[in-house]
Amino acid sequence: MTQSIPLFYLKRKARLMSRREGIPLAAALNEVAREQGISSWSLLAERRTATTSNRMNYRRLRAGELVLVAARPGQGKTLLTLQILIDAMRNGQHGVFFTLAYTEREVLERMHRLDATPSEFNGLFELHDSDRIDADYIIASLDGLPSGTVVVIDYLQMLNERRETPDLEHQVGQLRAYAKANGLVMIFISQVDRRFEAERGGLPGHAHIRLPNPLDLSLFDRFIFLNAGAIQEVNAA
């Protein structure tokens, strides 16, 4: 299923336009809305809010599910997964973000772009940016959290960068077993090979997921591919 351009992507485009052209953010938002065939940003936002099928949100995820979000750099993987966490926490679920790619400050800046701050979630949000993150670290950190907790791991290919950690497939298998046993949703951010860009246009697929180490993709229950603002969800066979 391919979805229209998500709201967070359009908002980011407007912010960039505002800085680049030196115009007020409100004017940039309205310009982006007109590009989508809608007369104003407020009307666009109203229509999108009323139509949940226009973007991926946590309600479409199932407890115990492993999800892979894959795209080339700069396509909104981190913003999408943070938006899912924010949606979940605003509905009373715990949200945990593990990152080997960003600092705490960088993650919080991205949350701010989505009009969210950790303080609004009353202890439901946890952020881990240790360079020791691997499957054992993640499982220990999640101990005691309730079913329905949404977990983001940023990113898949960095889980076994340290020589002493188990291979990637073993770690994903560990995390899958833990998620299933405890009713957690685990979302892995993944890189896509450069060769996808050479193929020009469209959306990446399973064959484009960068796998420097062997990994059985059937360990994942759902895949979300992004490119140029479009999103495609693919359920595992």
The structure's pTM equals: 0.81
Q: What CATH code is assigned to 56-235?
A: 3.40.50.300
pLDDT (tens digit, 9 = 90+) per residue, 133-164? 999 999 999 999 999 999 999 999 999 988 88
Which two structure tokens, joined as six digits, stand for 42? Answer: 């407020």
Distance from C-alpha of 94 to C-alpha of 85, rounded to nearest angstrom:
8
Kindly give the confidence (pLDDT) of every residue in the chain, 237 residues in length, as a single tens digit, with 9 standing for 90 and above. 445 677 777 888 899 999 999 999 999 999 998 988 888 888 877 666 544 334 456 667 899 999 999 999 888 899 899 999 999 999 999 999 999 999 999 999 999 888 899 999 999 999 999 999 999 999 999 999 999 999 999 999 999 988 888 999 999 999 999 999 999 999 999 999 988 875 666 889 999 999 988 899 999 999 999 887 788 888 886
